[in-house]
Amino acid sequence: MLRDAVIAALLVGCGGTDPVALLDDAEIAQVASMSPRPPVPDDPTNRVADDPAAARLGQFLFFDPRLSANGDVSCASCHDPGLGFADGKALAEGVGTTGRHAPTVLDSAWNRWFFWDGRADSAWAQALGPVENPIEHGSSRLEVARHLHDDGDLRSAYEAIFGDLPPLDDTSRFPEGAARPDPANPDAAHNVAWSAMAEADRTAIDVVFANFGKAIAAYERRLVLGDSRFDAFVAAAVAGEDGAGTLTDEEVAGLRTFIGPAGCTDCHFGPSLTNGEFHNIGLGPRDWLTPDQGRWEGVDLVLTDPFNGQGAFSDAPDAPEVDERLRWLGNSSNNLGAFKTPSLRTAALSPPYFHGGHFDTLAEVVDYYVALEEQPDYGHTEGTLTRLALTDEAKAELVAFLEALPGDLPSDELLEAPPDPF
C-alpha cells in the first residue's frame, strides 16, 4: 500500500496525466474485451503444434530457399522478419507475381481462417499452399519429401519427430523431379508423374507433406507479439489504476473514435481486433489487380481441401473446434468479394494494406473508410459501413491509436534462419 502510494506520488511528480480518466465506464467495459489476449489456442489437428523440436525444424524450413523451383524463394522471401513478416509490396513476388498482398504471419496463431479468402482452416494446411503454387515456391510435395530425405540434417530432424521417411531411394516408386496432383492440368508432367505412383505411395508422400506443414506451423505459433502499451492501458483501466505512461491522450482519443462513432468494432473487436470473419468493405479495382471473388471461392476450397481439419491428415478430425468451423459452413452471396478481417494488432508493422495492397499508409486506410466511395468488382459494400464524419484531427487520432497497437517482436532467435534444423 505504502509502496503504491509512493509510486503514485512519483508519477504525479513526473507530471504524468492519467489517460484512463478520459474513458467513461461504458467505454472501459468495451475496451476490457480487447485485452489481454488469451493464450494461443490449441490446435488439436496438429499433434506437434507445441513440440519445440518441430518448431525448430519448421523455423529452418521457413527460411530454406532450396524448397523452390529457382532455389531463391523461401517463406521468408514474402514473410520477412525485418518487414513485419510481410514484404512491403502490394503484390507478393516469388517465382512469379501473386494476385494478392502478403499478410503478416505474426499473431496468426489466433487466426480462425488462413488466407484472405479463408481457404485453409489451419496453419499447417496453409503452409502447403505456397510450396506448390507455381508463382510462389513452384515446387511439389514429392520434391519437398525428397529434400527432407536427401539432406542428412533435415532427414534426422524429421525422422526424430515423425518417424521414418518413405524409401525415396527407390526411384521406380518415387520418381525424381516434380510430382503433385493438378486436376486442372491433367497433362502436365508433374500431374502425370503423380498419377503414375501407387496410391499407397502417394498417401505416404501426402503424410510427409502434411508433417512438413505441421513443423512450419509449430514455428509460426511462436511468432507472437509481446503486450503493447495498449494492453498496459487496458489493464490499468480495468483495475481502476492510473494509466500514466501507457497511451497518450491523442491515442486514447483515437481509441474512443474507434469504439464509438467510427464503428470499427462492428468487425474489429476482441483481443485480436477482428471477428475472424469475412466482409465486403467495397474496395474497388486497381490496375495491378484482377477481379477477385474472395471468400466466395474460399468456402468451396476449404471444404474440398484434403488437408482440412476433417481430412485424413488431421490429427483430430472429430475435434469440436474443427466441427464448429466446417460442419455448417456453406456459401452465400454475401461472400462475393468478401475478404478476411485482419488483426489490427499487427497492421502498423506491415504496410501496405488490404488484400490487394490497395493503400500504402494507415492514414489512407482511414480516409478510405471515411469517404467510402469505391465500387467493388463483385458483390456490394456491406450495409453496416457508412460514410464517416470525422475531422482531420479525429482521423489523425485514429491513426495514432492504430500505431500504438503492436507490441514487441518475438525474441531475436526466432527472427532468423537457425544454423541447423535441430
Positions in the binding site for ligand HEC (CB under 6 A): 62, 73, 75, 77-79, 92-94, 98, 100, 102-103, 105, 108, 111, 114-117, 123, 126-127, 130-131, 136-137, 216, 220, 262-264, 266-268, 279, 281, 283, 339, 341-342, 344, 347, 353-355, 362, 365-366, 369, 382, 384-385, 398, 402
Minimum distance between the CB of residue 216 and ligand HEC, rounded to whole angstroms?
5
CB of 112 to ligand HEC, least distance (A): 10
* Through-space distance between the first and last CA atoms of the chain, rounded to whole angstroms: 49
Of the CA atoms within 13 Å of residue 115, those in its CB half-sphere come to 24
Could you tell me which of 418, 342, 410, 420 has the C-alpha nearest to residue 85? 410
| Nearer of residues 81 and 130 to ligand HEC, judged by Cβ | 130
Q: Which is nearer to ligand HEC, 229 or 236 (CB)?
A: 229
Pick 161 or 344: Cβ nearer ligand HEC: 344
- Rounded CA gap, 411 and 365, in Å? 30
> Is the CB of 55 or the CB of 216 nearer to ligand HEC?
216
Q: Which of 176, 182, 125, 189 is nearest to 149 (CA)?
A: 176
As a whole number of angstroms, the distance between CA 47 and CA 37 comes to: 23
Residue with cell 509512493: 6
For residue 290, how many other CB atoms are within 10 A of its CB? 10
CA distance 297 to 118: 9
3-state helix, strand, coil in the chain (%, to 5): 40, 5, 55
Specify the residue, 11 or 53, whose C-beta has the smaller distance to ligand HEC: 53
DSSP β-bridge partners for residue 278 = 340
Contact indicator for 146, 174 with CB cutoff of 8 Å: yes
Q: How far is the CB of 113 from ligand HEC (least distance, A)?
A: 7
Closest distance to ligand HEC from the beta carbon of 378 (Å): 11
User: Between 171 and 375, whose beta carbon lies closer to ligand HEC?
Assistant: 375
Residue placing its CB nearer to ligand HEC in the complex, 121 or 201: 121
- Minimum Å distance from CB 32 to ligand HEC? 20
In the complex, minimum distance from the CB of residue 61 to ligand HEC, in angstroms, rounded to a whole number: 7
Block residue for cell numbers 519429401? 145
Q: How many CB atoms lie within 10 A of CB 411?
A: 9
- Nearer of residues 17 and 334 to ligand HEC, judged by Cβ: 334
Output the smallest distance, CB 83 to ligand HEC, in A.
Answer: 12
CA distance 349 to 179: 37
CA 355 to chain centre: 12
Q: What DSSP designation does 96 have?
A: S
d(CA 128, CA 42): 20
Least separation in angstroms between CB 391 and ligand HEC:
14
Shortest separation between residue 209's beta carbon and ligand HEC, angstroms: 11
Is the Cβ of residue 19 or residue 129 nearer to ligand HEC in the bound state? 129
In the DSSP assignment, the letter for residue 173 is T
Least Å distance, CB 173 to ligand HEC, is 26
Contact 317, 327 (CB under 8 A): no
Q: Given the complex with ligand HEC, which of 95 and 168 has the nearer CB atom?
A: 95
152-157 contacts at long range (C-beta below 8 A, 24 or more positions apart): 153/420, 153/421, 153/422, 154/57, 154/60, 154/61, 154/421, 156/422, 157/53, 157/56, 157/57, 157/60, 157/420, 157/421, 157/422
Residue 154 CB, shortest distance to ligand HEC, in Å, is: 15
Nearest to ligand HEC of 81, 201 (CB atom): 81
Residue pair 205/165 in contact (Cβ under 8 Å)? The answer is: no
